Chain A
Amino acid sequence: MALFGTLGEKLNHVFSKITKKGTLTDLEIKNAMREIKLVLLEADVNYLVVKDFIAKVTEKSTGERVMKSLTPGQQIIKIVNEELTALMGSTNAKLTVASKPPTVIMMCGLQGAGKTTMCGKLAKMLKKQGKKPMLVACDIYRPAAINQLKTIGKSVDVEVYDEGTAKPEKTSLNAIKYADKKGYDTVIIDTAGRLQINEELMTELQNIKKAVNPSEILLTVDAMIGQESVNVATTFNEKLDITGVILTKLDGDTRGGAALSIRAVTGKPIKFCGVGEKMDDIEPFYPDRMASRILDMGDVLSLIEKAQANYTEEEARKLEKKMRENSFTLDDYLVQFEQLKKMGSISDILAMLPGSNKLKLNENAIDEKQLAKNKAIIQSMTKKERQDPDGIKGSQKKRIATGSGTTIQDVNILLKQFSQSRELMKQFNGKKKGGLAGMRLPF
């Protein structure tokens, strides 16, 4: 169970033994699902949720026809990604407004999840939308928590109501009366962080809820949370019937599998994300982005879509045949360059590829000037030279360099790259690796 590479790579490995396209077989799906299972677990998706999800996707994939323009691996990624996105719901950054103001929003969550900061962000966002929000400090336990909210309130220019360490349900009730009198239309209640297993403190939240009847009860969860996300979300939801979830600290590099777990066990929408320490760092939740983040595959799906649109089946088949026959020439290399250009800039494509955030991209590989140069070099060759690059001699190289406005060194580099690519293809052929025509980059 070695853990390396991205999902894309792993799946390619799984599918390296498949030569024919057609429908996905049970064994192929089983092997692919094993990899996907690992990826999800590493992303902190709860293991029970993973099991469920895998069962669902397996069912979906069984008998699925592999689209001509995709490799089986890509086909699976496509299904997984679609399923994951669908599971996470739609973008839903709307807050319910009470029929009679003020609208009450109650925050809750574990210690250190980021509730207090999020209160400030929500207040600022609401202000921008023309609302008149007020904040209420109900964290009476953590030292200086009330001061923290006051400082935040000042920075976003929103009034903070507090009654020191009085009982939170009393404070919040009075706060609402106060807001009503002062003409505030939205009241955001900050509460102390608490463990969901702490009965006493969970009762306190229920009491606040009873006292103020909030339109929104938002569970704030640190995106770095692990397997416990399920227990936390389930308990808060059971006790309070939350209306939505906020994920914080998504500006970190966590994969954020909790998003999937929480959504799966509560069915409640994820409404906002915290993406930084500044008061403007709040975003709506985008299910599709979250799905690719969890799968660590960048926007691989849009890449797949682009490839589908641009790479005709005909071209793909021709190339595959050439690879099989080891008759790949510089002409084909040129076609590949053109292909890449059609699909968008190379750096765009590489950025979309799985794992590219971790990968230190080889600068040469993404240099579009280099691409143009290579094109010019190939175009300056005779037909014979393109068919048989190995036979190109020193004097010919000089001519090609002059013709393409490059140097002999450039020509050498290209020839070397080409022969490496060809070598690579031979290896694939040796392993009878099929279906690689679609996306494989010739570098």
Chain B
Amino acid sequence: MGIFSKFFGALKKTKDAISKKISQIFVGELDDDFYEELEYVLVSSDLSVEASSEIVEEVKKLAKKNKVKTEEDFKKLLRQAMTDILTLDEDEDTYPTLYTIVGVNGVGKTTAIGKMAHYYKSHKKSVLMVAGDTFRAAASDQLTEWSKRAGTRIVKYGEGVDPGAVVYDGIHSAIAKHDDVVLVDTAGRLHNKVGLMEELKKISKIISKEWSDRVQTYLVIDATTGQNALQQVEMFNEIMPLDGIILTKLDGSSKGGVVFAIAKKYGIPIKFVGVGEGIDDLEPFNAKEFVENIV
């Protein structure tokens, strides 16, 4: 069991579920009925109908070409096709970097920041948290608690303050103290709320004006989310170009299959997965292992 042990644990149920379902439908003939059922199996993990049917078409072709007979060989093909989708080009992390964490309400942004802080600290980086959620009741208390747990500095104001002001001060504090990693928390917002998305645009402008080093914007997606995740990506990406996805709550029974459609359509890589509520329940994403643990 390596660094992915928790991840394995979290995904094991998933693997069992999908693997078992495939075994159930894998009874000899790889005919149309089989492939239709396979599509259902994939859809049941929140892969979009489109992504599922494309994957199915692909493996169907390959299975025919390679004259696949056994269940294990077939699963191998399927795994390969799925891994290919999630394998995307990414640039190396350099420091200092300012990470802005965005997403809809309750997906786990603040928690992800707490865990990221711990992650970067354990990689010997100095970390600053910026409490940019000045909207939700007690949001900055929540982040403060995480800064204590992770042992990092935090810049925060009270509720109702302009988040732009907090971000501004946070950035200048980080520059003054030469922090390697700045983690900006933002209020949860539904992506179809124009006003709130405008606010995010303002924050984004302040960042690009005040912070001259590397910036990354990560969208947090709850693994239980269905197809609406695609809308979330679309709209957030329009306001602040997204560099990565953080997929949370993979310790549940959800599969997070919607990331396949996201990867296909937007080419945005998954950076981290959240596998619990503890401070080290965050792991860097690895496509091969993610897929191997699904199928």
Contact = CB atoms under 8 A, between A and B. Distances in A.
A326 interface: no
Interface in B223-237: 224-229, 231
Interface of A: 1-3, 38, 41-44, 46-48, 110-114, 141-145, 147-152, 155, 195-197, 222, 224-228, 231-232, 249, 251-255, 257-258, 277
Given A112-B105, A151-B138, A252 B44 contact: no
9 contacts: A41-B49, A44-B227, A144-B145, A224-B222, A224-B228, A224-B229, A226-B254, A227-B226, A228-B224
Interface stretch (B117-125, B202-210, B245-253): B245-253
B225 A249 contact: no
B284 interface: no
Contacts of B53: 1
Interface residues of B, number: 47
Contact of A252 (B13, B49, B191, B249): B191
B134 interface: no
Interface in B177-207: 190-193
Given A152-B137, A226-B224, 8 more contacts: A1-B53, A149-B137, A155-B137, A197-B252, A225-B225, A227-B43, A252-B228, A254-B228
Nearest to B148: A143
B226 A3 contact: no
A47 B104 contact: no
Contacts of A41: 43, 49
A249 B105 contact: yes
B66 interface: no
- SS class of chain B's interface: helix, strand, loop or mixed? loop
A114 B257 CA distance: 23
B27 to A, nearest CB: 19
Contacts of B49: 1, 3, 38, 41-42
Contact of A197 (B106, B135, B142, B253): B253
B217 interface: no
B154 to A, nearest CB: 13
Given A112-B108, A226-B46, A142 B142 contact: yes
B22 to A, nearest CB: 15
B99 interface: no
A228 B225 CA distance: 9
Interface of B: 13, 40, 43-46, 48-50, 53, 104-108, 135-139, 141-142, 144-146, 159, 190-193, 222, 224-229, 231, 249, 251-255, 257-258, 277
B136 A148 contact: yes
Given A111-B249, A197-B253, A143 B146 contact: yes
Greatest chain A CB density within 10 A among B13, B142, B252 is at B252
Given A141-B277, A228-B252, A228-B254, A257 B190 contact: no
A110 B141 contact: no
A43 B254 CA distance: 17
Contacts of B135: 277
A195 B141 contact: no
Contact of B231 (A112, A141, A253): A253
B204 to A, nearest CB: 21
A58 to B, nearest CB: 16
B224 A147 contact: no
Contact of A110 (B138, B192, B224, B228): B224
Contacts of A112: 105-108, 222, 249
Greatest chain A CB density within 10 A among B13, B139, B228 is at B228
A111 B108 contact: yes
Contact of B145 (A44, A143, A257): A143
B251 A3 contact: no
Contact of B252 (A110, A148, A152, A224): A110
Contacts of A3: 48-50
Nearest to A225: B224
Contacts of B136: 148
A159 B43 CA distance: 45
A43 B50 CA distance: 13
Nearest to A221: B224
Contact of A147 (B107, B138, B192, B222): B138
Contacts of A44: 46, 226-228
Contact of A226 (B105, B141, B146, B225): B225
A226 B40 contact: no
A142 B114 CA distance: 12
A227 B46 contact: yes
A253 B228 contact: yes
B45 A227 contact: yes
Greatest chain B CB density within 10 A among A42, A152, A254 is at A254
B291 to A, nearest CB: 18
Nearest to B230: A42
Greatest chain B CB density within 10 A among A149, A226, A258 is at A226
B40 A114 contact: no
Nearest to B187: A277
Given A47-B40, A144-B138, A226 B258 contact: yes
Contacts of B43: 41, 47, 227
A235 B255 CA distance: 17
A228 B252 CA distance: 9
A113 B222 CA distance: 10
B277 A226 contact: no
A42 B222 CA distance: 18
B240 to A, nearest CB: 18
A231 B253 CA distance: 8
Given A3-B49, A143-B146, A148-B137, A226 B108 contact: no
- Cβ-closest 3 pairs across A and B: A226-B226, A112-B106, A44-B226
Contact of B226 (A143, A195, A251, A254): A254
A94 to B, nearest CB: 27
A12 to B, nearest CB: 20
Contacts of B105: 112, 114, 249, 277
